[in-house]
Amino acid sequence: MTENARPRVLSGVQPTGALHLGNWLGAIRNWVALQDSHDTFFCVVDLHAITVPHDPARLADDTLSTAALYLACGIDPDRATVFVQSHVSAHSELCWLLNCVTPLNWLERMVQYKEKAVKQGADVSTGLLDYPVLMAADILLYDADRVPVGEDQKQHLELARDIAQQRINARFGAKGADGEREAILRVPEPLILPEGARVMSLTDGRSKMSKSDPNEGSRITLLDPPDLIRKKIKRAKTDPVIGLEFGNPDRPEADNLLGLYALLSGRSREAAAAECASMGWGAFKPLLAEAAVEALGPLQERYAELRRDPATLQAVLDRGAEEAETVAQATLKRVRQALGFLPRS
C-alpha cells in the first residue's frame, strides 16, 4: 500500500426517501469543505438501499436525485469523484471477501441493525445484517483516511477499522524483516464534527431526524417548498418555557431548534443563544423558518437546474465511476493477492 498524495475521503448517502436537514448538516455539508484539501470520493450507496424492501420503479430516479442533491449542496465533480456504488462492482466483490473474515457476532451487535430489524419483523434480509460489511468495503476500497458522517455511523466505522486491522492486515499482511505485518488496507478515521452531528426530530427532541419516521412533520427535507417548511416548524414540538437555550437536558427541543437556527443562519452558537435567550417560541419559530427557507432556496434552485439536464448528470456519474473503478480495482487486487487467489492469466 502506498501513501496517498493527499489524504483521501470517502462518504455516501443512501438513495432512500428525500434527504433531510440531518443528512445535510451532519454529513454532506462537511464533505463540501474537504474538497480542496483532500482527494474526495462521494458515492450514492444504492446497494445499501435494497437492504430493506424497495420499489424497483423508483430506485434509478432516487439515485439520480440523490446525486443531483450532492451537486446542489456544493460538491464539485471537477474536484470530487461522484459516483454510484453499484456502477463499481468491486464494492460487492470486496464485501464478499470481507464477509468471510468478519465474525457474525460483530454484526449482530450493531445498534442500527437491531433497530431496523425490529421494524422489518420476520422479513429481515441477510443484506440488512451484512450492511456494515458492505460499508466497510466502500471505505476500504479507496484507502480512505477519513470518513465524514453523522454520529449514528460511528459504530459502523469502528467495525470497518476492526475488519481492516484485525481481520485483514494482522492476518494476511506479509511479514517484513522486523517481523511486523505490512498493511494491506488503510485503517480509516471517522470525521464527526460536533455541530450538526445529531439533528433531532421536529416532533420529538429525543429521537434523531430520520428518513424512515412515518411522520413527515418530523423532518424538513432539502426539497420542501417554503410554505411546507414554515408549516412544519410551526407545528414542531415545543415546551412551556420562554427563552431558547443549549444543553438543558429537560429541554431537548430547545437545544435542537436553537442548534438548527445557528447552523442555518450561519451564526455562531454563542450569538444564536444570546439572540434567543429571552425569546418566546412564537417569535423564535418564524425566525427559524425564514433561516431554513433562505438556506435551502439556492440549493433548491441548483437542484431544479440539474434535474432539467439528466444527460449532463449521467455524464458526471459515468466519469466518476471510471475514476472510482481504477482506484477500487487496485485495492481489490491487493486483497485478492493477499488472500491467495489464483490470478487470471
3-state secondary structure of 146: strand
The residue from 114, 119, 154, 211 that is catalytic is 211
Of residues 7 through 26, those in contact with ligand TRP by CB under 6 A are 10-12, 14
211 is catalytic: yes
Q: What does 62 interact with, of ligand AMP, ligand TRP, none (CB < 5 to 8 A by kind)?
A: none
Closest CB to ligand AMP among 8 and 167? 8
Contacts of 253 (CB under 8 A, 6+ apart): 200, 205, 236, 237, 238, 239
Residue 139: CB minimum distance to ligand TRP, A: 5
Q: Across-strand partners of 67? A: none
Q: How many angstroms separate the CA atoms of 206 and 122, rounded? A: 28
138 binding partner (options ligand AMP, ligand TRP, none; Cβ < 5 to 8 Å by kind): ligand TRP
- Which neighbouring-strand residues pair with 44? 13, 84
* Residue 64, number of CB atoms within 10 A of its CB: 19
> Mind spelling out the 3-state secondary structure of 9-71?
EEEEECCCCCCEHHHHHHHHHHHHHHCCCCEEEEEECHHHHCCCCCCHHHHHHHHHHHHHHHH
The interface partner of residue 208, options being ligand AMP, ligand TRP, none and the CB cut-off 5 to 8 Å by kind, is ligand AMP
Q: Could you tell me if 149 and 190 are in contact, meaning their C-beta atoms sit under 8 angstroms apart?
A: yes
When CB distances are held under 5 to 8 angstroms depending on the partner's kind, the choice from ligand TRP, ligand AMP, none that residue 198 binds is: ligand AMP
Q: Which is nearer to ligand TRP, 147 or 317 (CB)?
A: 147
Under rule CB under 6 A, how many of the chain's residues touch ligand AMP? 16
- Tell me how far CA of residue 125 lies from CA of 53, 57, 118, 135, 218, in angstroms: 9, 20, 12, 16, 27
According to the binding rule CB under 6 A, does residue 236 interact with ligand AMP? no
Q: Which of residues 120-139 bind ligand TRP (CB under 6 A)?
A: 135, 138-139
Read off the DSSP letter of residue 215: -
Q: Which helix (H) or strand (E) holds 264?
A: helix 252-265
In the region spanning residues 194 to 223, those forming contacts with ligand AMP, defined by CB under 6 A, are: 197-199, 208-209, 211
Q: Which amino acid is at 181?
A: R
Secondary structure class of 300 (helix, strand, coil): helix
Q: How far is the CB of 336 from ligand AMP (least distance, A)?
A: 29
Q: Which residue has the cell 430489524?
A: 117
Under the binding rule (CB under 6 A), the answer on residue 10 touching ligand AMP is no
User: Which CB, 22 or 169, lies closer to ligand AMP?
Assistant: 22
153 binds ligand TRP (CB under 6 A): yes
Q: Tell me which residues are annotated as active site.
A: 116, 208, 211
* Residues that bind ligand AMP in the complex, under the rule CB under 6 A: 13-14, 22-23, 26-27, 149-150, 152-153, 197-199, 208-209, 211
* Residues that bind ligand TRP in the complex, under the rule CB under 6 A: 10-12, 14, 45, 48, 135, 138-139, 147, 149, 153, 156
